[in-house]
Structure 1
């Protein structure tokens, strides 16, 4: 029987209650106090909706502005930059996966088909909505340019995210098939657990991408998304640009309240990372995805469908002949 709860139902409702409180606080703080970029504000809200109190804790220690005017310095460490990149990835990818899972569950598709539709939906949401629209605004490029520049980093990140989410979803749904239907609290609990695992698995890949400037990290509205550098360094860089590279700045660039106008962010990772290294990391993320699929196929049931009471490919009744 695929109907063995993996947690008491009352615990699920406690988790959902704590999640609502966490989302309310994160949304309130972001839209009233913390000068994070708008798309990242929505990203944090979505990821906290999926990860509950854990998302709140991560937000508190990596993004929440501890005191006015300190956000640029607070988010400067590389580990926090990588957290921002991972949250941005999870907001798009996990949203696409969850939406697709809810829809495919309605149509009664088997899990083996379901997971690849979810993969495609997660990549679509992540690339064409969260990544491309953000990069378009932040780097003053066309939407097509933003899609092209975001494609490979987003694919790497998506592979890692799905490598964590795929086996978690399949194993939990195999244990209790109620989790395949979006009308069940077990569905939302399994998606929450899967997102948490996906974020953990995707973090190292995003750390590498941010370190090599292939993805943006944590940003701030006051620095036009540049982030990741102490305020003093930002001001020095801005002064150099104003002195010798004024033509590279938009004529109406907003000003930082603590100093001169800030230039648009420039990502230079394509010139710093060889094609061979990017190919190697891409292959590693594909191997991670393959490992996730192996775990799901080995220990879960990829043939199960919503509403199917039990899996019985090898069951036999007394007297039955083969």
Structure 2
């Protein structure tokens, strides 16, 4: 009982600490004009991305094209900026920071899809309580995040058990920190919102971007110490295509 009381007290303190931010963000994320303008901007960013992938970066693999599409869909101009800085074959040189961004984007695309599927199933279909919705969403984020790593490894000839173990070791820190902050932010902003409300979806999109920002330095460290490879250098693909 003391443990439960301690968790409840900690949750209350966190809510109080972030209440000023909530008072600012909730009206913005509930405003149809602002959210509609954001949606239009995301659509334009997707158009720019697809045009560039088709015209200037056809060498990129289908998986990375899907990754960048999801990143831009979740985060609009921020996602497009990450792609432009780190994911094009035209980058001047690669770096630890760029590899960290690509690694985070790879994780982010799968976890984001898992969150959308998990929250739709848990709240929209099963109508679970808030705690269970968060737990199911967390689980689906892990499932999709691991799957996006296990699949390519198995395509390269790695066995399922080894691929799963490698995914667990390399992706768990990134997925965990990303989802703790993403789902935590979503709960702070829209715990009482329903799927038919604008705030439900706008808070989800906003929280995903928060998760990306927090997970990026973790991925930089994982790449720096060899836990993750950080995705291949796209500039080398451009050099290979030019030969």
Given the two structures, how large is their TM-score scaled by the length of structure 1? 0.61
Distance 1:53 1:200 in 2: 14
1:141 is matched with which residue: 147, 158, 168? 158
Q: Larger Cα Rg: Structure 1 or Structure 2? A: 1
2:75 is matched with which residue: 41, 47, 51? 51
Report the CA distance between 1:30 and its aligned residue: 2.2
Distance 1:44 1:50 in 2: 10
Matched residue, 1:191: 204
RMSD: 2.5
Deviations 1:31-69 (A, max 9, x none): 442233321211110111111111112212222333xxx
- Seen in structure 2, the aligned counterparts of structure 1 residues 156 and 117 have a Cα distance that, compared at 3 Å, is same
Given the two structures, how large is their TM-score scaled by the length of structure 2? 0.80
- Seen in structure 2, the aligned counterparts of structure 1 residues 105 and 140 have a Cα distance that, compared at 3 Å, is same
Matched residue, 1:202: 215
Report the CA distance between 1:220 and its aligned residue: 4.9
Secondary structure of the 1:6 match is helix
- Segments of structure 1 that go 5 or more residues without pairing to the other structure are 232-255, 260-322
Secondary structure of the 1:171 match is helix
Secondary structure of the 2:27 match is coil
Report the CA distance between 1:258 and its aligned residue: 6.0
Report the CA distance between 1:5 and its aligned residue: 4.5
Report the CA distance between 1:136 and its aligned residue: 3.0
Aligned residues: 216
Answering whether residue 174 of structure 2 is matched by residue 151 of structure 1, we say no
| 1:251-290 equivalences in 2 (<5 Å) | 256-257=240-241
Distance 2:116 2:177 in 1: 16
Distance 2:64 2:87 in 1: 10
2:182 is matched with which residue: 160, 165, 175? 165
Which one has the bigger helix percentage?
2
Matched residue, 1:27: 50
- Seen in structure 2, the aligned counterparts of structure 1 residues 257 and 51 have a Cα distance that, compared at 3 Å, is closer
1:123 is matched with which residue: 119, 142, 146? 142
